[in-house]
Amino acid sequence: MDKRLKIRITHGPNTAIGPGKADLLEAIIQQGSISKAAQTMNMSYRRAWELVNVMNEAFKSPLVSTAHGGSHGGGAQLTDLGKTVLQHYRNLEKKVRQTAQNELSSIYKLLK
């Protein structure tokens, strides 16, 4: 069975950034819109918007900026802060996997 380490940073009751939100930010970079990003992730547009909204509210300024133009239209892109947070999160994941390899494999070995 697939075994993974997942890390997230909570901010009060919400997850500010975690695996799903980081993947969504990357999909927004690639697709240039929240609705297309949601499609590639098999996620509803509503759900993607909720995740973006939680991130935009948790950080000091928004991570995703949207252009206006109809309910699904106008496109979206990461702000400078969005790119910075995504990069820090990927660095954090990498660092954790590298440095905690022994502790991690101790647990993995005990899983089915």
**Residue nearer to its own copies on the CB measure, 8 or 66:** 8
Q: Is 92 in the site for its own copies (CB under 8 A)?
A: yes
**Residue nearer to its own copies on the CB measure, 31 or 92:** 92
Q: How far is the CB of 95 from its own copies (least distance, A)?
A: 5
User: In Å, how far from its chain's centre is CA 63?
Assistant: 10
80-99 vs 19-31: helix crossing angle, rounded to 10:
130
**Residue nearer to its own copies on the CB measure, 31 or 93:** 93
Q: Which of 89, 111, 92 is nearest to 4 (CA)?
A: 111
Distances (CA, A) of 80 to 31, 50, 58, 65: 17, 20, 16, 10
Q: How far is the CB of 44 from its own copies (least distance, A)?
A: 19
19-31 vs 45-58: helix crossing angle, rounded to 10:
110
- 46-75 residues in contact with its own copies (CB under 8 A) are 57-60
Residues near its own copies, by CB under 8 A: 1-12, 16-17, 57-60, 81, 84-85, 88-89, 91-92, 95-96, 99-100, 103-104, 106-108, 110-112
